[in-house]
Structure 1
Amino acid sequence: MVAAPDQATAPLNAGAVLTKATIKAAERLGLSQKVLSNVIGLSESVVSRMKSADYVLDGGKPFELAVLFVRLYRSLDAIVAGDEAAARAWMKSDNLALRGSPVELIQKIQGLFHVVQYLDTRRAPV
């Protein structure tokens, strides 16, 4: 019989998993710490601490933005079938439908949300 996870550790585990996923997604997309800090609304020094596992996202706005960012990564990764070079190129290229390059757009909340919506519609056409 498997014991249910302790309620007190569940949020910590979710934060640790999301922190690690956020860092991995940024690395695979070729984003700098500066860009990631703009995307999730934290300072570059905090992002550096996230990278070295000295800081864990624990809720609030940065947590929510990181969830959206990881969702963006997962959608894009599915579209390009895991081709990291294609994903990086897409992020940096100007996109007429989005009216800008995704890497620039996602540094603002509205842009991040718009890019996620765009990828979701491309990933699962009706």
Structure 2
Amino acid sequence: MPATTNAPLKTANTANAAAVLSTAVARAAERLHVSRSLLAKILGVSPATVTRLYAGAYQLEPQRKEWEFGLLFVRLFRSLDSIVGEESSARKWLDSDNRALNGRPIELISNTEGLVRVVHYLDASRGLV
């Protein structure tokens, strides 16, 4: 058998994963009331790209950094959702000063270091529950 028999399946899985993550990122941002301009900063893409993402005309690409940032952002949402249980509390948490993080999480997640710190903090907090 030729080695390329799985190539169409691999391409389909990649396309499906891109669609799923792209949709998850947009929905998480909506539910947390993260603005499109902030989401663009988080993902490291232009605001126009985020607009296309919301419209379904653009999907995050697995080979690019935007993919990793998208995964981290969805992980943040899932961790926060599992800890607080409701969107309004999650939004309040993001907007509140956090002594452990030394800042407001909504401001911290606009850059890579802050996003990683907030995700690690939530992962550690979730482990205590």
> Aligned letter for 1:100?
G
Kindly provide the CA deviation profile for residues 12-39 of structure 1, in whole angstroms up to 9, marking residues without a partner as x. Answer: 1111100000000000111100010000
In the other structure, the counterpart of 2:56 is 53
1:80 aligns with 2:84: yes
Structure richer in helix, relative to its length:
2
How many pairs are equivalent? Answer: 122
Task: Supply the RMSD in Å over aligned alpha carbons.
Answer: 1.4
Largest Rg, 1 or 2:
2
In the other structure, the counterpart of 1:66 is 70
Residue 58 of structure 1 and its aligned partner are, at CA, apart by: 1.2
Partner SS state of residue 124, structure 1: helix
1:95 aligns with 2:98: yes
**Which runs of 5 or more structure 1 residues have no equivalent in the other structure?**
none
Give distance in 1, aligned partners of 2:29 and 2:9: 30
Partner SS state of residue 9, structure 2: coil
Q: What percent of counterpart residues are identical? A: 46
Give distance in 1, aligned partners of 2:94 and 2:36: 15
Match of 1:18 among 18, 21, 28: 21
Give distance in 1, aligned partners of 2:12 and 2:100: 42
Moved over 3 A (4+): none
> Aligned letter for 2:94?
M
Alignment of 1:110-121 (within 5 A): 110-121=113-124
Q: What TM-score does the superposition give when structure 1 sets the normalisation length?
A: 0.93
**Which runs of 5 or more structure 2 residues have no equivalent in the other structure?**
1-5
Residue 6 of structure 1 and its aligned partner are, at CA, apart by: 1.3
Partner SS state of residue 92, structure 2: helix
1:109 aligns with 2:112: yes
Give distance in 1, aligned partners of 2:126 and 2:113: 20
Q: What TM-score does the superposition give when structure 2 sets the normalisation length?
A: 0.91
Give distance in 2, aligned partners of 1:25 and 1:8: 26
